[in-house]
């Protein structure tokens, strides 16, 4: 399988929080970081992400990042892998 990514992502560990437009309360939900690059990331969540955009708060970062949701796949019961692109 060919990797068509424009930049290399590095494995990353740590917590993230996120909000999505499907959650009207604006409450931050917990997640885990899997990999990260300057323009994208992969995170794990406990809910299926059905929106096109989300705001991601990476632990240790100064500012939240707006992200485009590229895909969301279920990896296990109640665990989802989410591909993000930072515009």
> Domain residues for 59?
14-85
Over residues 2-56, the pLDDT tens digits come to: 445 566 666 678 899 999 866 556 788 999 999 998 899 999 999 999 999 999 9
Indicate whether 52 belongs to any domain: yes
Indicate whether 48 belongs to any domain: yes
Cα within 13 Å of Cα(42), Cβ side: 14
Indicate whether 8 belongs to any domain: no
pTM of the predicted protein model? 0.81
Indicate whether 33 belongs to any domain: yes
Positions of E strands within 1-87: 10-11, 15-20, 29-36, 40-45, 53-58, 65-76, 79-85
Indicate whether 69 belongs to any domain: yes
Indicate whether 5 belongs to any domain: no
Indicate whether 9 belongs to any domain: no
Indicate whether 1 belongs to any domain: no
Instruction: Report the number of distinct structural domains present in the chain.
Output: 1
Residue 67: pLDDT above 80? yes
Q: What is the pLDDT of residue 1?
A: 39
């Amino acid at each position: 399988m060919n990797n068509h990514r424009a930049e290399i992502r590095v494995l990353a560990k740590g917590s993230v929080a996120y909000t999505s437009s499907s959650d009207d309360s604006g409450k931050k939900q917990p997640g885990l970081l899997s990999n990260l690059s300057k323009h994208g990331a992969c995170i794990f969540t406990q809910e299926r992400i059905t929106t096109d955009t989300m705001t991601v708060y990476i632990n240790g970062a100064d500012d939240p990042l707006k992200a485009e949701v590229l895909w969301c796949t279920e990896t296990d019961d109640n665990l989802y892998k989410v591909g993000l692109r930072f515009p």
